[in-house]
Amino acid sequence: MKIGVVVFPGSNCDHDAWYAANNNLEQQAEFIWHGSSDLGNVDAIILPGGFSYGDYLRCGAIAKFSPVMAAVKRFAAEGGPVLGICNGFQVLVEAGLLPGALVRNEGLRFVCRDVDLEIGTANSPFTHQARAGQRLRLPVAHGEGCYVADEAVLDQLEREDRIALRYIDNPNGSQRNIAGILNEGRNVMGMMPHPERAADRLMGNTDGLVILKSLVSSVAAYAAPQLSTANI
């Protein structure tokens, strides 16, 4: 499969995502510049971490106007899987692809450390190889990672089983310990922790592979029936 990694001015985890896709997942990955209005022939999209457009105004507030985001929205509307990591999560929220907002961390401090999490749902393309309640340890690195939403949105996320990840040791004050959420179609996920930084044995942690491998296997499972039908 081919994974597109979107690059905004200020992205700094784009090569991490590219490396994880190519070397840890053994898939083809390619960079997609923010000015592109065409995603090419990709099977999945990753919006990586960093500081898109310097995080001016709000994190992700300028990136949502990039030409590439119109293409990402079309891709998501057609059921294509989109994973936003850290700043990518912030961009997805600003672009209206996910509800709520990400604001300054509780205590107003940048947090950079490993945190303990649990899988909130295994019913998604990004978590289906895990089990609900499974614990992961992943790194975070953000200053605006506190997830907030009104009570109606939070209740809806709970009711529809769309909280993908929860913090066990909440590093930023996120409401209901939310570390990652899904859209209504379950094909778009945003998460503040970095699975691509915990995907290689050389780094001493491969907990992030359950997220990334779930994405790959879900795309493969979706493509297999189409290929078999095309060959009849």
Q: Could you give the residue numbers annotated as active site? A: 86, 194, 196
Contact between residue 61 and residue 102 where contact means Cβ atoms under 8 Å apart: no
Sheet holding 163-167, edge to edge: 28-33, 2-7, 44-47, 82-85, 188-191, 178-182, 163-167, 111-119, 135-142
DSSP character string of 138-204? EEEEESS-EEE--HHHHHHHHHTT-EEEEESS-SS--GGGEEEEE-TTS-EEEESS-GGGS-BGGGT
3 state DSSP class of 69: helix
Kindly state the helix (H) or strand (E) to which residue 83 belongs, with its residue range. Answer: strand 82-85
Are β-strands 178-182 and 163-167 bridged in parallel, bridged antiparallel, or unpaired?
antiparallel
Contact between residue 199 and residue 209 where contact means Cβ atoms under 8 Å apart: yes
Residue type, 188: V
CA-based torsion, 170, 11, 59, 149: positive or negative: negative
Contact between residue 10 and residue 36 where contact means Cβ atoms under 8 Å apart: no
For residue 105, what is the DSSP state?
P
